[in-house]
Structure 1
Amino acid sequence: MKTEHFDQKTLAYVRVTGPYGEGYDVATEKLYGWAGPLGLAKGESIFIYHDNPELTPADKCRTDVCLAVPSDVNPPAGIELQTLPSGQYASIRKTVTENSQYALFWQQLMTQVVKAELTVDNRPCFELYHHYDMDSHHADVSFCTSVK
């Protein structure tokens, strides 16, 4: 685990409501289908998680499938904009080879945050995708939670 500072980012996003890990393909296709022709598809890919799945029913969990974009972009209906606030984040970078590993890596991060006696902030937690292989579904991902 390391702590790092992230600068503020403008994100175009499509919200998915339902169990974490489900329904992301449609949102991703919509987002990248719009961004690709505009030359925006190379921005950072970020998935923001708004709810604790241990406290929130699975069908109510909210995920924002995001792409970092210039602040002056004007997305079409169905794609929204938000600002990811700047600040300190605790993170771990992992290679994901199976979907079941996402929850495991989040647990590893949170265990390390507690062990390091860091205080979690109220900014969103997210996954930052450095690379995602469409064929194998393997991903190079940083798991990030905000800390004070």
Structure 2
Amino acid sequence: MHVEIRTLPALRLAYLRHTGPYGAPAIAQTWERLGAWCEAQGLMRPRPRFYGISHDDPGATPAAQCRYDACVPVDAAFAPQGDVGVQAFAGGRHACARFTGPASQMGAAWEWLYGQWLPASGLQADQRPGVEVYEEDFAVDPATGAFSCWICMPVR
């Protein structure tokens, strides 16, 4: 995979949280719930970028306790409601690689970024969480389950 160093913007994000193993089918259900909520709130026109935030290192955190947030940008007037919370995303410098494939292969892509690319890069991982960036034209191939996004590791 090709890696680009990018500066991601600071954002205010509405989110739904999944707690449990990364790669679990429940994450797709969390995204579906967020999409339905966004549609009901009028946030889908124009279609926004979406962000997936992985808060925990699956090598150090028990799988049942890993936290993943499915997120959408919101303005300062947004107030949390029900299961939908709000958080600040600091943005900043990230090493970003284009991922294309089914969700079952995403863990291997993250492992490559942290385990192979990072040690050879001369950079260090930052303490901020990794983020997936889903562009406005995001789609899942119904035949294969494949999709594309950017996986972005915070670096210094």
- What's the TM-score, normalizing by structure 1? 0.90
In 2: Cα distance, 1:83 partner to 1:134 partner:
31
Q: Is the 8 A contact 1:3 1:90 kept in 2?
A: yes
- In structure 2, relative to structure 1, the CA distance for the partners of 1:30 and 1:75 (3 Å cut) is farther
How much has 1:119 moved relative to structure 2?
1.2
For 1:33-48, what aligned pairs fall within 5 Å after superposition?
A: 33-41=36-44, 42-48=47-53
Aligned to 1:140: 148
RMSD: 1.6
Segment of structure 1 superposing worse, 5-14 or 28-37: 28-37
How much has 1:134 moved relative to structure 2?
6.0
In 2: Cα distance, 1:117 partner to 1:71 partner:
37
Q: Is the 8 A contact 1:129 1:139 kept in 2?
A: no
In 2: Cα distance, 1:82 partner to 1:134 partner:
30
In 1: Cα distance, 2:64 partner to 2:131 partner:
19
- Stretches of structure 2 lacking an aligned partner (at least 5 in a row): none
Percent identical residues: 30
Instruction: State which of 6, 18, 21 in structure 2 corresponds to 1:19.
Output: 21
Aligned positions, number: 147
- What's the TM-score, normalizing by structure 2? 0.86
The alignment status of 1:118 with 2:120, answered yes or no, reads no
- Stretches of structure 1 lacking an aligned partner (at least 5 in a row): none
Q: Is the 8 A contact 2:99 2:106 kept in 1?
A: no
